[in-house]
A and B are shown apart, each in its own frame.
Chain A
Amino acid sequence: QVQLLQSRAEVKKPGASVKISCQPSGDNFKYFYIYWLRQAPGQGLEWMGTINPSGSSATYAQKFQGIVTMTRDAATSAVYMDLGSLTSDDTAVYYCASPPDAFSSSGIFASWGQGTLVTVSS
């Protein structure tokens, strides 16, 4: 399994965008699909999207289409999630996660980052 370290908490104004990073430990991270999920305060878990190992393809949940972009940096192995047009409803803890096996997008969230709190407030 992969260990994932996410960037620090952010405070943003409505209408702004936020970019969160997810840095792995381990050499084989480049072979893993990465998922992004979020959890609003006191609420449940929501899958936002998936990026493939090469970074050439990402699949987004319909509600995030057009406002989210997931990317990977091959040089640093970091994965990024950029969410735009922020509203107060986007206040949440954002998680990156990986499946149990390399090269497989099983939809099983086996390893998780520690979470990044994004607060959207004017």
Chain B
Amino acid sequence: DIQMTQSPSALSASVGDRVTITCRASQDIRRYLNWYQQKPGKPPILLISGASNLESGVPSRFSGSGSETQFTFTITSLQSEDIATYYCQQSDYVPYTFGPGTRLDIK
């Protein structure tokens, strides 16, 4: 199975800050990397697929980049409604696997 890691595991930032989360895969997954946002008590929401493709309706302050084994998720200007846990997930190989999540809160 492909192991996904994320750093940091938790992050505290101020409104307006630039926030970056890193995701690493244990082997080459090309660009089959997706990012989700999950708020407490809710199902995850797909934000980015294919490493950098922003889903329809997702604010442009969210972005993703990377390939092979290293990926980055960025919020260019943090808003209070972005408080959530963010997960990366690889969709190149079955079983599909997720990173452990990055919990983001407001400083």
Interface residues of A (CB under 8 A from B): 35, 44-47, 50, 59, 61-62, 95, 97, 100, 106-110, 112-115
Contact = CB atoms under 8 A, between A and B. Distances in A.
Interface of B: 32, 34, 36, 43-46, 49, 55, 87, 89-92, 94-101
A47 B46 CA distance: 15
B57 to A, nearest CB: 10
Nearest to B6: A44
B96 A107 contact: yes
B87 A45 contact: yes
SS of B interface (majority): loop
B96 to A, nearest CB: 4
Contacts, number: 49
B34 to A, nearest CB: 6
A47 B101 contact: no
B101 A44 contact: yes
Nearest to A48: B95
Contacts of A95: 43
Nearest to A60: B95
Contacts of A44: 87, 98-101
